[in-house]
Chain A
């Protein structure tokens, strides 16, 4: 029997501690963010959870005006896909100072907001 590799719990626990984690394969050393239970590069099940530097740059974004009930009190909000310094990517809401809009290649760093349901959420803000 294989041990259940709870990568989602690892990710969520880390976000609640204000950090981002990925999976690092113990065989080929490839890193994936968010973490994966099976290495996408070599197929190995032997992975370690490792902390990733929470900064990168915007590769695309949108400003959402029509949102589901969970986010309706935030509209309009900017959602971006950020490429981390290690090349992996994550989606998150941008926190932008008044008068500043998102741009391609804008350097951002990770922030962590307490969501209404108690768990923390990954956000991005300009570096």
Chain B
């Protein structure tokens, strides 16, 4: 990577779920305060705030949400910027915070993400999320996000035989993982039969193939690695990050069984870190739908194309498997407050690399990776992190 190396020295994370009458800036205040206390930093030492928020506009009738964050935290005139990249908004807030440190412009950055989604009924949330697709050519045609991923699931099944049982196995695994995460929205074990027989949302995807509607926030504090490594407390190094874009419309892509964006961003992230897929000990991927996790573990280079469907079913991606995937419970069971997700994924890596993950702690992990997806894969942000002690 160019510029200064970047370290993360603190994390904060609210409970995920339906949190009642609360605003995203209050959620961020809670997550950021937890991080500030962990870092033993005063709020005025924060040079800049980057916030991943999909749409406080639609969910909370609040545009210009960024200044509300330092305002509620009691900071004085701290620059605050909102980043929106659909469900990859949080990953971008993390990346731009890191760019701020790497460039030398800032010495201490707070990157946060949040969403308050449960104010709206499901059909209106479906409409708001669908606005992340191509309005002219997809939304006008009645596309929804479950619909877009359902069309990819069908293409993947047609090409590689990735069936409903394989998809359900991803949901079963992530629900099982979330049993050990007290901040998860769902702490409830499910069975393959229950997942396969749940309400049809967008054929062939059922309710348990889909991540839920969630409120929540997550926060991270970044400093130059030179400072972080001397810091008395938890820490991890950002080894690399990369971002890629693709067409707005799903139909404009030749391959509907995966994401070129994941492959491109991952390749850049691996190259910038001087690492390969085999060097990654565990990963948090963007399982907004079960098929998305299957495609992610293929496109990130952990499983051959077409083999991802068998991974959860065979136990390979469980906490004790060949490659632990979404030990936090993932978007599926931990929950998916859109703007928070990319930051929340990195918070999980931070906890694991600092032996702070409690009952779900992995043994002997050195390198963790995140893959955060926006739209129907039109934006992908990948980060690779290394243990700091």
Interface residues of A (CB under 8 A from B): 8, 11-12, 34, 59-72, 74, 76-77, 79-81, 89-93, 104, 115, 121-122
Contacts and interface: CB of A to CB of B under 8 A. Distances in A.
Given A34-B136, A62-B150, A64-B147, 4 more contacts: A62-B147, A68-B144, A91-B137, A91-B251
A34 B143 CA distance: 16
Interface stretch (B82-90, B198-206, B299-307, B325-333): B198-206
Contacts of A91: 137-138, 141, 143, 249-251
Interface stretch (B119-127, B229-237, B273-281): B119-127
A67 B137 contact: no
Contacts, number: 96
The 7 A-B residue pairs whose C-beta atoms are closest, nearest first, are A68-B127, A62-B150, A63-B203, A89-B251, A71-B142, A60-B151, A60-B155
B154 interface: yes
A66 B124 contact: no
Contacts of B154: 60-62
A79 B143 contact: yes
Given A62-B150, A89-B251, A68 B126 contact: yes
8 contacts: A60-B151, A60-B152, A60-B158, A64-B147, A66-B146, A68-B123, A70-B142, A122-B141
A59 B155 contact: yes
A72 B201 CA distance: 13
Contacts of B249: 34, 91
B134 to A, nearest CB: 9
- Chain B contact-residue range equals 20 to 34
A34 B138 CA distance: 11
Contact of A70 (B127, B137, B147, B152): B127
Interface of B: 122-124, 126-127, 130, 136-138, 140-144, 146-147, 150-152, 154-155, 158, 199-205, 249-252, 256
Contacts of A71: 142
A67 B141 contact: no
A62 B130 CA distance: 15
Contact of A81 (B122, B140, B144, B151): B151
A81 B294 CA distance: 21
B164 to A, nearest CB: 14
Contact of A79 (B147, B155, B158, B256): B147
B256 to A, nearest CB: 6
Nearest to B249: A91
